[in-house]
């Protein structure tokens, strides 16, 4: 198989920017080649140029989705940035209970660890009040994995012991070394394929939105558009959480900063 050329890499950069709004730096050239190499073999093509021609074919929408799945980053784990989950529990307890559910969106949440972490907190801290969690990602492949709720135990080290006992099933025999989110919690979390770089489906409004470690992959204009869309489904008085390595400076002035990477939409 040929090596990926600079011109071919530039075409893949344009492809993923148009598909997902993600800006790939030149340093990602080897990552792109590595993630697509096996797919070239599976498609029976011999070069990256041939694969690009395949992607641009009129009948290849399914292959374009596969390529998008392969080129989007899906790195996550349970209870990442724990202070955000402490804030979520405190916020839930401080908001007066009412007939409507407390709703949280895990946007671009990859394989579901974040959404299930949120659900565990809401179930534990809610005192029986209704809640809803939606997890989403651009990748159809990882959304299906999230729905299964089945993980290697190596990926579950951040789960507090009380949540492990209450909400997780340890694999035995052939399933040793794995963990399954128990059915009662798993069926209460909805997962959807959503592209943040396109018009959002009718999923809101939400009390809290987790948009963490996502904006770092977008250029400035894409960040502004994505945040504008997300704020459109955040309730007045609701909270937006971003990653600690991210900033909203120059992106929006419509939010009030409350704590590191935690913002509130004015009531």
What DSSP line would sit under 136-162, residue for residue?
EES-HHHHHHHHHTEEEGGG-TTS-HH
Same domain, 220 and 151: yes
Q: Mark whether 100 and 211 lie in a shared domain.
A: yes
Residue 63 to residue 167: CA distance in whole angstroms: 36
Query: In the prediction, which pLDDT does 58 show?
Result: 65
pLDDT tens by residue, 179-214: 999 999 999 999 999 999 999 999 989 999 999 999
| DSSP-derived pairing of the beta strands 131-137 and 189-193 | parallel
The reported pTM is 0.88
Q: Is 35 a catalytic residue?
A: yes
Give the structural domain span for 25: 6-71
Looking at the DSSP assignment, which residues form a beta bridge with residue 106?
135, 210
Cβ neighbours around 128 below 10 Å, total:
7
Residues 123 and 210 occupy one common structural domain: yes
Q: In terms of residues, how long is the chain?
A: 267
Q: What is the CATH number of the domain that holds 43?
A: 1.10.155.10
Domain shared by 30 and 150, yes or no: no
**Which entry of 35, 64, 129, 155 is annotated as an active-site residue?**
35
Same-domain check for residues 113 and 245 = yes
76 lies in a domain? Answer: no
Is residue 123 a part of any domain in this protein?
A: yes
* Angle in degrees, 0-180, between the axes of helices 113-125 and 82-94, rounded to the nearest 10: 40
Q: Do 202 and 110 share a domain, yes or no?
A: yes
Q: The CATH number of the domain where 212 resides is what?
A: 3.40.50.150
- Those residues whose C-beta lies under 8 Å from the C-beta of residue 96, and which sit 6 or more positions away, are none
DSSP letters, 92-103, are HHHSPP-SSPEE
165 counts as catalytic? no
- The answer to whether the beta carbons of residues 110 and 74 sit under 8 Å apart is yes
- pLDDT of the residue at 68: 87
> Does residue 77 fall inside a structural domain?
no
Terminal CA-CA length for the chain: 57
Domain count, the chain: 2
pLDDT tens track for 68-114: 888 886 678 999 999 999 999 999 999 888 889 999 999 999 999 99
Which listed residue (137, 186, 207, 212) is catalytic? Answer: 137
**Is the dihedral angle over the CA atoms 146, 88, 229, 237 positive or is it negative?**
positive
- In this structure, are residues 68 and 198 in contact, taking their beta carbons and an 8 Å threshold? no
Same domain, 33 and 105: no
Better-predicted residue by pLDDT, 26 or 265: 265
């Amino acid at each position: 198989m040929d090596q990926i050329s600079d011109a071919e890499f530039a075409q893949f950069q344009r492809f993923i920017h148009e598909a997902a709004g993600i800006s790939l730096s030149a340093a990602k050239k080897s990552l792109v080649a590595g993630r697509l190499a096996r797919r070239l073999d599976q498609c029976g093509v011999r070069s990256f140029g041939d694969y690009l021609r395949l992607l641009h074919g009129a009948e290849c929408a399914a292959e374009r989705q596969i390529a998008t799945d392969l080129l989007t980053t899906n790195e996550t784990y349970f209870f990442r940035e724990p202070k955000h989950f402490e804030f979520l529990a405190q916020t839930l307890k401080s908001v007066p209970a009412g007939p409507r559910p407390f709703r949280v969106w895990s946007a671009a949440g990859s394989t579901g660890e974040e959404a299930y972490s949120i659900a565990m907190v809401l179930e534990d801290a809610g005192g029986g009040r209704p809640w809803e969690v939606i997890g989403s990602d651009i990748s159809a492949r990882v959304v299906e994995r999230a729905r299964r709720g089945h993980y290697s135990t190596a990926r579950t080290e951040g789960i507090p012991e009380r949540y492990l006992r209450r909400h997780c099933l340890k694999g035995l025999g052939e399933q040793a070394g794995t963990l399954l989110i128990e059915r009662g919690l798993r069926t209460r979390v909805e997962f959807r394929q959503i592209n943040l770089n396109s018009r959002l489906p009718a999923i809101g409004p939400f009390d809290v939105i987790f948009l963490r470690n996502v904006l770092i992959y977008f250029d400035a204009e894409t960040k502004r558009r994505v945040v504008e869309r997300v704020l459109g489904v955040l309730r007045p008085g609701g909270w937006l959480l971003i990653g600690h390595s991210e900033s909203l400076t120059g992106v929006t002035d419509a939010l009030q900063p409350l704590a590191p990477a935690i913002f509130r939409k004015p009531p």
